[in-house]
Amino acid sequence: MTSDARPDPRWFDAWRGIIFANAKVFRAVEPKLEEHSGISLVFLDVLSRLNDAPGGSLRMQELQDRSLFTHSGMTRVVDRIEAAGLVRREAVPGDRRGVSVVITPEGARLYSEAIERHKADLERDFASRLTPAQIEAVAEALSQFWRE
């Protein structure tokens, strides 16, 4: 009565693995990030996009498209990060509608420290639980999702 006769297909196990790994590792790692660097994963994500962008600058919409967490509401997220002094808004020369978001020196400094510690956390809570062969297999199988 509680479940159907036929078992779940194998791909469902793979999917379950992904969502559980995602949820469990985030739950473990986000409080640590908050504690040692004082920022949330949303902030780190935005700073990361900016840091990787040429000139440390991106327009609002590019930021929105590339962000993992915030589909909408990038305006307010940038408001908060700007209030923290980690980015600033600048006018776009050619287009007066546009705003480009630039990472500040302070933001870049905080980012590079935060990402290093964050990677150490991830290594402990994620990578160390897998064998090199498993890591390689997962990376290979799922690379299509971030390489668009």
Backbone φ/ψ region at 73: left (φ over 0), alpha (ψ -120 to 50), beta:
left
Q: What are the tokens at 123? A: 């290594």
Q: What is the size of the binding site for a copy of itself (CB under 8 A)?
A: 49
Window of 20-28, 32-40, 72-80, 86-94 that interacts with a copy of itself by CB under 8 A: 20-28
Residues 6 or more apart whose CB falls under 8 angstroms from that of 41 comprise 26, 29, 30, 33, 69
Partner touching 75 among DNA, a copy of itself, none, CB below 5 to 8 Å by kind: DNA
Would you say the C-alpha torsion 12, 13, 18, 21 has a positive or negative sign? positive
| Residue among 13 and 24 whose Cβ is closer to DNA | 24
The correct pick among 5, 6, 7, 10 for binding a copy of itself (CB under 8 A) is: 10
* Interacting residues toward a copy of itself by CB under 8 A: 2-3, 9-25, 27, 51-54, 56, 68-69, 71, 119, 122-123, 126-127, 129-130, 132, 134-146
